[in-house]
Amino acid sequence: MTARLWNRKTRAALLILPLALFIGIFFVWPLGIMVKQSVLDDAVLHLLPRTTEAIAGWDRTAPPTEAMQAALIADLRAADDEKAVGDMVRRLNSAQSGYRTLMTKTLSAVAKPETGPLLTDVDKRWAQPAFWIAIADALEPMTDRYLLAAVDLERNKAGEIAGLPDGASANRTIFIRTFWIAAVVTFFCVLIGYPYALLTAASTGITRTILLTAVLLPLWTSLLVRTAAWFILLQEQGLINGFLLSMGAISSPLPLIFNRTGVVIAMTHVLLPLMVLPIYSVLLTIPTNLMPAATSLGAHPLRAFLHVLLPLSLRGVISGALLVFMTAVGYYITPALVGGAGDQMISSVIAFYSTQTANWSMASALGIVLLVITLILYVVYVQLSGRTSVNGRM
Amino acid sequence: MAGKLISAVFGVLAVCFLLLPLVVILPLAFTSSQFLIYPIPSFSLRWFEELFTTPVWRDSIVNSLIIGAGTTILATVLGVLAALGLREKLNFISAPLNTVFLLPMVVPAVVLGVGMQILYAKLGLSSSYAGIIIAHTVIAIPLVIVSVANSLQGMDTRLELAAASLGAGPAATLRHVTLPLAFPGIMTGAVLAFAVSLDEVVLNIFLAGPGQRTLARQMFATLRDSISPAIAAAAFLFIAGTVLLTLLVLLARRRFSGAR
């Protein structure tokens, strides 16, 4: 018997194995790489291998040794990646001002074979420890600067965490904007979705079928099709403006697209089913005779609703709201198409760093912040709704 | 009475809000105009012609079909095997694995896109069909697992025991009892996997080269710069495809339950 049980367990494990490997390699590993990429900083390390060795024993206060100077000259001569050198100079210059001019001078001097072995002959500044401290810091393979920069923080000269100077970065603004848009969309989804779910649960027969179909059809329709449809409705010569103009309600077209209004309308439409369905499924579990019972005992219908139906259905509302908010926070397609420049959410910043500038460290750091936020919301959602599956697509 | 009227008005308005966008886009697929606007001057099939003759659109349709088919096969095979294995309670393994298998549905597509872009650069999978099919499979897996697990859960396990007691080996039981019974769930999972792949844009932006542009990606790009009614025609194809697939599933299920 135990042998057979063992057999069954082994077989089950073997059945799971292919997917476990697949998900491990193509889902868990990429997320792990992102974490590593966001704290790893070995660009300068790769560029200056000899200097790394020579600088190891240096005490950061003594004048630079001859070995360090010779190693840096050798490394700069060997560096053939102009972009990487440029990045390094920019980085050193932000740690120690004056580096840009110093490096320009040094690089052209190093290009001549007769230069060396002492850098102090090229420029007096190479004798100052401050310039070498900047290099030593840049050689550290681990950094928290990307993660800090993701939330507009940096380490100042003394190594303490401090806010970035105003106007230097807008990540925090965009995070706040992302939460704000997600919150507004969630609010409208509750506003429409809750009464809609109540109506659906209270209706019967054909009415219920129509109401349910109206929620499910958009859910099954391609996100792109739905966004394109809102494009048609909201544009300047679109149906909504055309209708309002012909009714005489407005005299010139309302700006409905490429702004916040458009984003909120389209996202509310896209996410509304995710709000209605959890509430509806909770409402179905509530006995239908509770409300009549409350009113028959003399409660005003509003009072009966507030004291009976609302508390009982609140669980559905909260899980629906979490689901909508969680999905909205990571949205990319809809804001990219119907939003303006001021409505882009954090996803578009991540996409910009990753696909436009190939700044994977910054993209990873921002991605991790977004991932952590999403996972926290998901854990709360699972705790509340007691299930692990989500019905919805991004 | 007033309450009834208010809820009726609200119901009608809400249904309009939900369905109007889907309704307005369909007729524009048949417009003869250059623009994606109403009123439609006259009807024509020129935008479908554009869709099937212009290389960018035609290639993107072919790519969508190739990638969708690849994703469906890979996700269904991996998902069905794992769902079968997950029926057995394995200490300390089943529950965490189940969670991890469902997580791709939760992680924002952009986050996954960044991670996979870096991984693909290391593995040399960037701008390849295999790379896109793998990426789409990752996000399709949760749906396959959920639908197959649902149909396996509703299954009477005594049927399998009966088959085994009649002398059927594990393989025969699987082939002649378990898989046929789970067929509706497998079918649903496969169709959902195809639908996810068809609709996916974000991972395609991060991972695909010009050679793997899908129809959805092409629609996204077109909506961004030159808004042409070809989008409406593509949307029509999407909706028609969805309806067709849904009918296919329903038909397969009905035929199957009829045969039982």
- Tens-digit pLDDT profile for residues A312-348: 889 899 999 999 999 999 999 999 999 988 899 999 9
With contacts defined as CB-CB under 8 Å, which chain B residues touch A215?
18
Quote the pLDDT of residue A334. Answer: 93
CA distance A4 to chain B (A): 12
**What tokens does B138 get?**
């990752």
Interchain pair A239, B38: CB under 8 A: yes
- Residues of chain B short of pLDDT 70, as ranges, are 1, 256-260
Overall pTM surpassing 0.90 (yes/no): no
**Is residue B26 in a domain?**
no
CA distance B179 to chain A (A): 14
Quote the pLDDT of residue A301. Answer: 80
Counting every residue written for chain A, the total comes to 394
Within chain A, all domains assigned CATH 1.10.3720.10 are found at 171-385
Quote the pLDDT of residue A158. Answer: 66
Interchain pair A14, B85: CB under 8 A: yes
**What tokens does A150 get?**
């993701």
- Domain residue limits at B189: 44-259
Tell which of A224, A258, A390 to mutate to test the B interface (max B CBs under 10 Å): A224
**Is residue B90 in a domain?**
yes
Tell me the β-bridge partners of B31.
B43
Q: What is the CATH number of domain A171-385?
A: 1.10.3720.10
**Is residue B7 in a domain?**
no
**Is residue B25 in a domain?**
no
Beta-carbon contacts of A50 under 8 Å, excluding residues fewer than 6 positions away, are A71, A72, A74, A75
Interchain pair A333, B202: CB under 8 A: yes
How confident is the model over A42-97, as pLDDT tens digits? 778 888 888 888 888 888 888 888 888 888 888 888 888 888 888 888 888 877 88
Question: Residue B97 is nearest to which of A18, A20, A224, comparing CB atoms?
Answer: A20
Counting every residue written for chain B, the total comes to 260
Quote the pLDDT of residue A392. Answer: 37
**C-alpha to C-alpha distance for A244 and A242, rounded to whole angstroms:** 6
Interchain pair A226, B113: CB under 8 A: no
Beta-carbon contacts of A75 under 8 Å, excluding residues fewer than 6 positions away, are A47, A48, A49, A50, A51
- Please tell me what DSSP assigns to residue B108: -
User: Tokens 């977004």 appear where?
Assistant: A370
Question: Residue B98 is nearest to which of A235, A326, A388, comparing CB atoms?
Answer: A388
- Residues of chain A short of pLDDT 70, as ranges, are 1-2, 116, 157-159, 167-169, 386-394
Provide the CATH number for the domain around residue B203.
Answer: 1.10.3720.10
CA distance B53 to chain A (A): 21
**Is residue B52 in a domain?**
yes
The residue of chain B nearest to residue A225, with distances taken between CA atoms, is B235
Tell which of B114, B203, B243 to mutate to test the A interface (max A CBs under 10 Å): B114
Residue type, A361: S
Helices of type H across chain A: 2-23, 29-39, 43-47, 49-55, 66-78, 82-95, 99-110, 129-138, 145-150, 171-202, 205-220, 223-234, 239-247, 260-284, 290-296, 301-304, 310-329, 333-338, 346-351, 360-385
**What tokens does B188 get?**
């649903």
Tell me the β-bridge partners of A214.
none
With contacts defined as CB-CB under 8 Å, which chain A residues touch B189?
none
Quote the pLDDT of residue A328. Answer: 96
Tell which of B15, B76, B111 to mutate to test the A interface (max A CBs under 10 Å): B111
* Side-chain half-sphere CA neighbours of B220 within 13 A: 22
Interchain pair A351, B79: CB under 8 A: no
With contacts defined as CB-CB under 8 Å, which chain A residues touch B243?
none
With contacts defined as CB-CB under 8 Å, which chain B residues touch A370?
108, 110-111
Q: Domains in chain B: how many in total?
A: 1
Quote the pLDDT of residue B189. Answer: 92
Beta carbons within 10 angstroms of residue B260's beta carbon: 6
Quote the pLDDT of residue A135. Answer: 86
